[in-house]
Amino acid sequence: MPSTAPAHISASPSVEGAAGSKTLDNGIRILSALARHPHGLTTTQLAHETALHRTGVYRLLGTLTRRGLVTQRADTRYQLGLTMIELAGAVRPDLRATAQVPLRDLAEAAAATAFLSVLDGDEVVSALVVEPLHADAHVAYRIGTRHPATVGSAGLAILSARAAVTGERAEITEARRRGYSISEGELQRGAWGLAAPVRPRTGEIEASVGVVALGALDEPRTAQLVVSTAAAIGNRLP
């Protein structure tokens, strides 16, 4: 393992680590910037946001637009295009298809917003969110939300099941015993969450299902619903 210094480090004092392909990385930075501003951005605004030059942004936007990843509105703003949804539809279709129906049943039974979250590095991303019918007050938990795995019931449920955490919070060992995790106000003020790990028959644990509500729910009852939903999903996975 000759830990040779990378030969391709350019003279640019990049803030982040060096990425393999600069042009592709610039394109992705544009996409990220647009994701942070759903209302849309102009080329000049994007240039500021990404620290690229306006003309470079313009040309990259051309490619992105031709591929449908970006669309130009009637005015002079660009925003993410529908092809993004198309591509995202191919992310773990098996897991999402399997969880769809059980998740909606869970949302109804618990009368709360139900979610499926997946571990991605040291963060979790909500891959599926289902709100119950006739929800009085709904928790704003958008699909695609990303946050640290150590914050919120969704991430804690996965971490505790993996038991691969070095500095274990009391909550984590406790959760491993119970089979579910609870969080209160960690992600959102006043939000109460309860989640359980999804255990596929083969392979590692990487997902969890749970519910969020604006106040604490009946813990034993909710836990039973969430845990059985997680088991139902896990048993249908490879």
Partner DNA sequence: CTAAACTGGAGCGATAATCGCACCTGAAGT
Partner DNA sequence: ACTTCAGGTGCGATTATCGCTCCAGTTTAG
Structure tokens at 209: 């299902």
- Alpha-carbon distance of 193 to 212, in angstroms, equals 4
Which tokens in the block code for residue 198?
């999804």
- For its own copies, give the closer residue by CB, 102 or 182: 102
118 binds, among DNA, its own copies, none (CB under 5 to 8 A by kind): its own copies
Stretch that binds DNA, among 50-58, 154-162, 163-171, 213-221 (CB under 7 A): 50-58
For 76, residues 6+ apart whose C-beta sits below 8 A from its C-beta are 42, 43
**Which of DNA, its own copies, none lies near 81, with the C-beta cut-off 5 to 8 A by kind?**
its own copies
For DNA, the binding residue among 22, 67, 138, 169 (CB under 7 A) is: 22
Q: Which of residues 37 and 96 has its CB atom nearest to DNA in the complex?
A: 37
Distance CA 61, CA 101 (A): 38
Which residue among 33, 34, 60, 128 contacts DNA (CB under 7 A)? 60
Ramachandran category for residue 168: left, alpha or beta (phi over 0 → left; psi -120 to 50 → alpha)? beta
153, 181 contact by CB (below 8 A) = yes
Q: Which long-range contacts (CB under 8 A, 24 or more apart) does 68-75 make?
A: 69/31, 70/30, 70/31, 70/34, 73/40, 75/40
* DSSP state, residue 41: B
Report if residue 147 touches its own copies, rule: CB under 8 A. Answer: no
> Binding partner of residue 28 among its own copies, DNA, none, CB under 5 to 8 Å per kind?
its own copies
Residue placing its CB nearer to DNA in the complex, 55 or 173: 55
Q: Which is nearer to DNA, 4 or 166 (CB)?
A: 4
Query: Can you list the alpha helix ranges (DSSP code H) found in the chain?
Result: 22-36, 43-50, 54-66, 83-88, 93-110, 153-162, 170-178, 219-235
Of 2 and 93, which has the nearer Cβ to its own copies?
Answer: 93
Give the residue, chosen from 30, 33, 34, 43, that forms a contact with DNA under the rule CB under 7 A. Answer: 43
Neighbouring-strand partners of residue 70: 80
Q: Judged by CB under 8 A, which stretch of 44-52, 83-91, 169-177, 178-186 contacts its own copies?
A: 83-91
From CA 119, how far away is CA 124, in angstroms rounded? 4
On whether the CB atoms of residues 106 and 211 are closer than 8 A, the answer is yes
111 contacts its own copies (rule: CB under 8 A): no
Q: Which residues are at the interface with its own copies (CB under 8 A)?
A: 17, 19-21, 23-28, 31-32, 34-36, 38, 59-60, 62-64, 66-69, 71, 74, 79-94, 97, 100-101, 104-105, 108, 118, 120-121, 125, 127, 131, 133, 135, 142-146, 203-204
